[in-house]
A and B are shown apart, each in its own frame.
Chain A
Amino acid sequence: DAGVTQSPTHLIKTRGQQVTLRCSPKSGHDTVSWYQQALGQGPQFIFQYYEEEERQRGNFPDRFSGHQFPNYSSELNVNALLLGDSALYLCASSLEAGGLNTEAFFGQGTRLTVV
């Protein structure tokens, strides 16, 4: 089992550009959540996807958007990048079971640097 895989591992973008990060969930998982971890901070919840819909969202601007595909993989898109968007972006997957989610498994993250 490959676990949660994210790509790319590192990325450098210029202010104002757009970026797409990708996540493949652990086999058998159907729910994907995205987190932003700034340097020296704990991860902050961005949003969660289930059945190809955004189920809940954290306190992030509309520049952050996402998508979930029928195979449960997911993308995180960030438009009009700011220097402050530089962070480690973590994807977590879990299984929705009877209204509750099982343990979340995290990927190794994508390190985004905005210059």
Chain B
Amino acid sequence: GNSVTQMEGPVTLSEEAFLTINCTYTATGYPSLFWYVQYPGEGLQLLLKATKADDKGSNKGFEATYRKETTSFHLEKGSVQVSDSAVYFCALSDWDDKIIFGKGTRLHILP
């Protein structure tokens, strides 16, 4: 079945550092791919998405590119801020609209 694997955390970085959170997926079809963010005490917010191969999703300085050949959707940001501290979930959705999530990566940004 479909699945998502993302790097384990926590990830701790200093402010203005470069961020990469790795994500790979397994899917039988052609899924849409997502990154969701969960701030402390809050629900999930969609951060960015890509619906087909080679698409790049971007939002708030974060980017991820849908790589079909490597079945990856790595999240990147050039310069992180303290306010980016949260849990990040990579996810996919196939023809059935069910969203399958990775286990999440907790990110701590130090001032």
Contact = CB atoms under 8 A, between A and B. Distances in A.
A82 interface: no
Contacts of A56: 96, 98
A104 B43 contact: no
**B contact face: mostly helix, strand, loop, or mixed:** strand
B89 interface: yes
A94 interface: yes
Contacts, number: 52
Interface residues of B, number: 20
**A contact face: mostly helix, strand, loop, or mixed:** strand
B43 A107 contact: yes
Contact of A45 (B41, B49, B98): B98
Contact of B89 (A42, A48, A100, A103): A42
A58 interface: yes
A113 B43 CA distance: 17
Contact of A48 (B49, B97, B102): B97
Nearest to B98: A45
B44 A101 contact: no
